[in-house]
Every structure is written in structure tokens, then in C-alpha cells.
Amino acid sequence: MKKLMRAGAVALAMATFVTGCSSGGSGDTAESEVPTNEDGQRILAFDAFVGGNGEEFLEEAAAKFEEANEDVDVQIRWSKDIDQEMQKDNASGKYADLVYYNLGQASNYTESMLNSGKVMDISDVMDEVADEIDTSITQPTAEYFGDGKSYLAPIMYTPAGLYYNKAELSEEELPTTWDEMFALGDKVHSEDANKYLFTYPIRGYFDNTVLGMLYQAGGEEYFQNALKYGEGTWDSDEGKLILETIAKLVGPEYLEKDTVANANVDGGFTVNQQSMIDGKALFMPNGSWIVGEMAETTPEGFSWGVMPLPAFEEGGERVVTTMTETVWIPAEAANADDAKEFIKFLYSEEAAEIFASHNIVSPRTGSADLLADEQLKGLFDVYNMDGVKAVSGTYAAYDATAVPDVDFKGTIYGPIEEIASGKEGVTVETWQESLTELWTTLRENPLSAE
Amino acid sequence: MTKKKAQARFVAACLAPALILVTLFIVIPTVQVFRYSLYQKSSFVGDETFIGFKNFQTLFNDSIFLESIQNQILIIVVITMFTIVLAIFFATLLTREEFKGKNLFRVIFYIPNILNIVIIAGIFSAIYAPSNGLLNTLLSSIGLDSLTRQWMGDPEIIIFSIIGALVWQAIGYYMVMYMASMTSIPENLYEAASLEGAGKFKQFFMITLPCIWDNIRQTLTFFVISTINLSFLFVQVNTNGQFGTQVMLNYMYSKAFSGNLGYGMAIGVITFILAFSMAGALNRVTKRDPLQF
């Protein structure tokens, strides 16, 4: 028996030793030399998320970059679950040199990395390219902490407005105010009971709509204040106006009746998108990727258009929210120099052309003109419409570990579908209260300076 | 003595691999879960600050967590109730009754169990689809339009829609388990009973049920554990815990891997305790003297 116990103790000691080893290897990577491949080329390890944009645009850009920089080997690791792969690597002290993973994903990976100071300051890169790119698009995202330093490099953008079928609604018929919008909804629904004003893929798609409305309701100052969880964001007339408008929009008269049910099943977002394409709803919030995403089931004759948010009053400001996708360099990257060069390359004319050939628009000035697809190019014309303001912004960082019970997205967007489905006890007032409470909590828990 | 020594050494050598693996992959991670739950820690690599039971304090004031416990218990109880009754019913039919295609039914009942949860989610999004879904179409076609619902879009019933899918998934597995022990009941017990004039119902309650009681008790533990796991997977694939459908492990996952590892692990600890105590309590209250035959 004693022997057995001794054997057990040895096993335990060995196990502790093994686990101890596995977590010990971090820290010294930053000092080490840049790894090279068999041909002596410096490896640029690039972890990239596979999404609606596909892989080719970055693969081709990387190939072009390698042509110009013969001593660099860009090794892209693509994965739908790249966040999980990276977390595993990070746990053993391994970091990529460059990452393509956006803010606002379910895993919050980019936010966690930013908030724990694990993203490199790339202000030098962004300053260098500033003259060539539209900084009004890139800056709000790049300067994540609002301290004038850039951490993220937005490499593409899209107008996240209200998408509609141009073949069905002419420009003259498009509503310019919310009143006109709802009147249009009443009209189509009274003519055809199965036709509605609005649908949304899943509730998260309201992010850009809410951002745009914040700007529209109270202007630049109110908008900036709201992004920093300022007082008076929600418990104000502006806040109430936003919530009431959304609540009305998802009411039974205006929201396509199956939207909520579809939004809550696996893959249901495409069903909702399809119902808009099929003409069951006039508008939905989305981005320009929708053209490619739904290409297979979009009938001929359908023509994508995007409209800025209707104004709250006659002659009021029209807003279209710009959504960006970003790359960033982990603070512990072994080959940050080449990663920075590659980011600069991604902002070049050459890269913009490659992107455009894959229907992706670089924030480099004039890149939308490079698009070959007229329909897609037309979507970017929304920025040239008279009196339309492009808005872009990210909510300020907060100390997520100090307030672990905060459900940011759930609190903002959750009540939308609860109101839509008529859940008992959920009203604009309760939504407003919980948002005010959330804003107070987040205001009181800013991210302490690293 | 030397022989005894050698024997002990042999036993130790045989046990060592298993012991090492269990320690490495079960004991240590479990201890780590308990340890992390006492820390403020964003991820596996993040800094950690010891905060005692603060995570647990926050948890019990966290309305989503309380909702997830509520949902979890509801799901376990309802699924166990329905699955056990249906599985025993079908198992009895398939072992005690003679009819054509018995084996086919056995296979059909078992199929859901070998399907991946993602496929089950796909099947049920087709079944529950509001306008052209199988369920609503079936109800309309037999004149029961008034019963059609937004199965996944109504906050009052969505949790039961999820339960329905999980019961469908579980029946086959438990049915096969009960069938295995039912076939081992000696036929002469039934013969004797029928000679004494006992009907099918009486036979079921006086023979079948008591004879498979131990088996049922074992499956109760499985019910608790597998329901906790499968409801996590199903919820994650479909609603991801939105719309009042949060369950404990999904909440744990969403917190632990979005920058709140410590908090997530505290949820893990509570889930661990809940699963253990539920399984223990079930085991205790169902204890009977085993029937020998």
C-alpha cells in the first residue's frame, strides 16, 4: 500500500512537472531573433480569420508583398476559429506577427488583447500612411483607446446602412425621415399583408444602426460622449428617441413576422436575409459583403442599394455608419518590423487594386472607384450623397475583468428581439433603465492605464 | 515477502499510466478550475489577482447566471421526465411485443443519438421554421392552425422547443440501455405472472420496472451529466444563450473565453457542484434493495 502511495506521489510530481514546463516557456520570445525558413527568409506569421471576404484577397496581397520583399516569407494561417487557435498558442507563450481579427466578435479576443496591453502601438505606421488613406474612416477604430495612439489598422471598410432592392424602390421613393419610413411600411403592409418594412439577420446587426442613430439624435458631441459611456446618453430625450424608434421599427406592423424565430436558429440569419431578397421586407441593416454572401440565391433583376438612416426630422442629418475590418500586431510579435511593412503595403495602391478585384474596398483614398462590379460601386456612392454624414466609432474600452457580469451586447441589443416578440415586462422604459445602469457601470470601471 | 513485494511493484507499474493520465487530465485541471475561480483573471495567460469569493458573490447577483441555473434545472427535470417515460415505453414495446419491423424501429430510434449536435440543430431549424417548417405545416395540414407557433421566436416557449429537440435526441440512447436490461429478465417470470392472471400493465409494474430499477438509477446520473453537456451544445449552436435561453455551461464558455476566465471558472465550479449534488440526490432517493433473479 505504501508503495502504491509512493507511486501515486511520483505520478503527481511528474504531472506537475510536465504541466509546469508547458506554461513556463513564455516571455523570452520578444528578445529572440526573427525565425527564418529553410531558405533563410524571415517568417512573417500571420493569423487570419476566414469570413465572408474569403482568403484570396490577402493571399494575393501577401504574394505581391513577397515579390517586392524577397527575404520575407508571409505564412498565413487561416481558420474560422482563429481566435481559439491563437488563445491556445498564447497560453504557451506563442504569438503571431500579425493578426486579422476584428472587434465585436463573440469571443472578444481582439478587445481582450487590447485591454491587457498585448497589442502593439503602430502609430508610426498609421502616421506614415495617413496622407494616402481616408483617416476619417480609419482613425476612430485605429485609435482604440482615444489617446491619439494607433493600435489597430483598418484595412477595409463598408457602408453599414439599410440595404434594399433598387429594382423595387426607386431613389425618389426612398424615405428621408423616420416618419416617411413608417408611412412606407404602413403602405406596403396594407397592400400586401405578407410584406413588411424591415427585417434584420440577427440582433447583433443593430450595432451600426445604433451607432448611426446616436450620432443622428444628438450630433458629434453627444455621439462622442455616448461612446465614452458619458452621463445622459440614455436617460435623455435623445436616448429615448433612439430606443423608441427601434422599438417601433421592430413592432408587429413593421418587422417581418418570422425574423425573431429565424434569428434564433443555427444559420437563420441567411433565412432572414433571403426573406428581404424575396421581397418580404423592404430594408435590413447589413454591409456590402451581402452582395457576395447571398449571390447564389439572389434572383436576376434584383439590384442591391444602400440607404443612409432616415433623419429624425425633416431636413435632419442623414447618417451612414462605416464598418471597418482590422489587422493588428501582437505586442510580443517576433517579427514586428516586417509586419509593419506589410501593413504599409496593405494600404498601397497595389493592394487596393487586389482588394478591389475581390470586391473589397481599402480605406486608401479613391479605392471604391477601383471596383469593377457596378452594383457594388453603387453601394459606396452612398458616401457621395448630398447631406450624408459618414460616421464611425467604437465604444471605449472598459475594465471587463472588474465587471465580469456585464453583458454589453446582450444589454444593448437583447431587448430588441424581446420587444419584437412581445416579451412580458420588457418595454422601452426597462430597456432605457438597464442601458443607463450599464453606462454608469462602465463609466465607473474605465480601463486603468497600462 | 519478496513475492508480495514483486506483486506490489507489478500492480504499481500497471496502475501508473492510468494514474498519471487521470492526474494530468482530470485531477489537475479540476483543481485549476477551483483555483482560478478565486482569481480575477482575464485569460490563461493574463495576470491573476486573488479575490477570494468575490466571483461567487458577483455570480449570485448576476441575473443572467440565475436565469441560466433556472433554465438548466428546468431542462434537466423536464428532459429526464419525458425521456425516461418514452424510452421505457418504447423499450418495453420493442422487447415484449412482437410486430413486424422491430429491428428497423430500433435503428430509427437510435439514429438521433449518433447525429452530431450541429446536424440536430439543422434538423430542428427545419422542423421549427415558422412559415414553412415541418411542425407548423403538419399542424396546419391537419386543421390545427390554432396550434401553430413561432417555436423559436416566442420567449414563452423557446426553452420548451429546445427541450423537445433534446428529448428527441436522447430517447434512442436510453431506450437501448433499458432494452439491454429488459432482455436479461428471465422469461419464466412473465410466464408465471400471466398464469396467475397478471395483465400487461401489471407485468410491467411488478416485473419489468423492478427488475430494471438499478439500470434506471444509473441512467439518472447520465441524464444529469449529458443534459448539462448537450443543452450547452444545442444552445450554443442555435441561440447562443440569447433570448432567455442561457444555460450554465454556455454562460461559462462565453465568459471564460471572452476575457473573464476567473468568472467563467466560478460558473464551472457551481455547475460541477450542481451536477454532483443532483446526481447524488437522485441516487439517494431512488435507492431500493436490488431485486435478484
Q: Is residue A337 part of a domain?
A: yes
In angstroms, what separates the C-alpha of A101 from chain B's closest C-alpha? 14
Tell me which residue of A102, A90, A121, A111 sits closest to A51, measured CA to CA: A102
- What CATH code is carried by the domain that includes residue A60? 3.40.190.10
The full set of domain ranges for chain B reads 50-285
Q: Is the domain of A174 the same as that of A224? A: yes
* A84–B257 C-beta distance less than 8 A: yes
**Window A:348-377, CB contacts with B under 8 Å:** none
| A57-78: pLDDT as tens digits | 999 999 999 999 999 999 999 9
**Window A:259-318, CB contacts with B under 8 Å:** 259-268, 271
Which chain A residues have a beta carbon less than 8 Å from that of B252?
none
Q: Is residue A6 part of a domain?
A: no
pLDDT (0 to 100) of residue B227: 96
| Residue % of chain B over a pLDDT of 70 | 98
pLDDT (0 to 100) of residue A14: 47
Which chain B residues have a beta carbon less than 8 Å from that of A94?
none
* A401–B238 C-beta distance less than 8 A: no
| Position with higher pLDDT, A330 vs A13 | A330
- Could you tell me if B234 lies within 8 Å of chain A, comparing CB atoms? no
Q: How confident is the model at residue A16 (pLDDT cuts 50, 70, 90)?
A: very low
Tell me which residue of A443, A416, A39 sits closest to A251, measured CA to CA: A416
Q: Is residue A387 part of a domain?
A: no
pLDDT (0 to 100) of residue A25: 37
Is the confidence at residue B223, as pLDDT, over 90?
yes
pLDDT (0 to 100) of residue B61: 95
Q: Is the domain of A199 the same as that of A287? A: yes
- Could you tell me if B28 lies within 8 Å of chain A, comparing CB atoms? yes
Is the confidence at residue A19, as pLDDT, over 80?
no
**Which among A14, A91, A264 is the nearest to B242, CB-wise?**
A264
**Which among A12, A260, A262 is the nearest to B23, CB-wise?**
A12
Q: Is the domain of A365 the same as that of A327? A: yes
- Report ipTM for this prediction: 0.87
In the block, cell 451607432 appears at A211
* B150–A404 C-beta distance less than 8 A: no
pLDDT (0 to 100) of residue B205: 93
| B107-131: pLDDT as tens digits | 999 999 899 999 999 999 999 999 8
Residues 6+ apart with CB under 8 A from B32: B265
- Could you tell me if A5 lies within 8 Å of chain B, comparing CB atoms? no
Structural domains counted in chain A: 2
Q: Is the domain of A434 the same as that of A294? A: yes
Please give the Cα distance from B202 to A212 (Å, whole number).
70
Please give the Cα distance from A114 to A104 (Å, whole number).
12
Q: Is the domain of A214 the same as that of A331? A: no
Q: Is the domain of A417 the same as that of A283? A: yes
Give the three cell numbers for residue B156: 414563452
* B260–A404 C-beta distance less than 8 A: yes
Tell me which residue of B218, B198, B227, B209 sits closest to B89, measured CA to CA: B209
In angstroms, what separates the C-alpha of B246 from chain A's closest C-alpha? 11
- Could you tell me if B9 lies within 8 Å of chain A, comparing CB atoms? yes
Is the confidence at residue A11, as pLDDT, over 70?
no
| A248-304: pLDDT as tens digits | 999 999 999 999 999 999 889 999 999 999 999 999 999 998 998 899 999 999 999
- Could you tell me if A423 lies within 8 Å of chain B, comparing CB atoms? yes
Q: How confident is the model at residue A22 (pLDDT cuts 50, 70, 90)?
A: very low
Q: Residue range B185-199: average pLDDT?
A: 93
Query: Chain-wide mean pLDDT for chain B?
Result: 92
Q: Give A438's DSSP letter.
A: H
Q: How confident is the model at residue A398 (pLDDT cuts 50, 70, 90)?
A: confident
Which chain B residues have a beta carbon less than 8 Å from that of A410?
64, 242
| B35-82: pLDDT as tens digits | 999 999 887 776 789 999 999 999 999 999 999 999 999 999 999 999
* A402–B124 C-beta distance less than 8 A: no
* A107–B257 C-beta distance less than 8 A: yes
* A4–B24 C-beta distance less than 8 A: no
- Could you tell me if B127 lies within 8 Å of chain A, comparing CB atoms? no
Which chain A residues have a beta carbon less than 8 Å from that of B15?
4, 7
Q: Is residue A26 part of a domain?
A: no
Q: Is the domain of A290 the same as that of A418? A: yes
Q: Residue range A105-121: average pLDDT?
A: 86
**Which among B8, B11, B55 is the nearest to A404, CB-wise?**
B55
In the block, cell 424501429 appears at B105
Letter for the amino acid at A400? A
Please give the Cα distance from A284 to A199 (Å, whole number).
5
Give the three cell numbers for residue A48: 487570419
Q: Are B45 and B263 in contact (CB under 8 A)?
A: no
pLDDT (0 to 100) of residue B48: 87
**Which among B8, B23, B121 is the nearest to A3, CB-wise?**
B8
Q: Is the domain of A273 the same as that of A290? A: yes
Is the confidence at residue A51, as pLDDT, over 90?
no
Query: Chain-wide mean pLDDT for chain A?
Result: 90
Name the CATH superfamily, with its identifier, for domain B50-285: MetI-like (1.10.3720.10)
Q: Residue range B137-141: average pLDDT?
A: 95
Is the confidence at residue B215, as pLDDT, over 80?
yes
pLDDT (0 to 100) of residue A244: 97
**Which among A109, A112, A261 is the nearest to B130, CB-wise?**
A261
Q: How far is CA A350 from CA A46, A324, A356, in A?
A: 20, 20, 10
Give the three cell numbers for residue A140: 476612430
| B18-32: pLDDT as tens digits | 999 999 999 999 999
A74: containing domain: 42-158+323-377
- Could you tell me if B30 lies within 8 Å of chain A, comparing CB atoms? no
- Could you tell me if A187 lies within 8 Å of chain B, comparing CB atoms? no
Q: Residue range B83-106: average pLDDT?
A: 92
pLDDT (0 to 100) of residue B132: 87
Tell me which residue of A255, A419, A427 sits closest to B155, measured CA to CA: A419
Q: Is the domain of A194 the same as that of A329? A: no
| Residue % of chain A over a pLDDT of 90 | 73
Q: Is the domain of A151 the same as that of A172? A: no
Q: Is the domain of A437 the same as that of A403? A: yes
Is the confidence at residue A407, as pLDDT, over 80?
yes
Q: How confident is the model at residue A191 (pLDDT cuts 50, 70, 90)?
A: very high
Q: Is the domain of A121 the same as that of A263? A: no
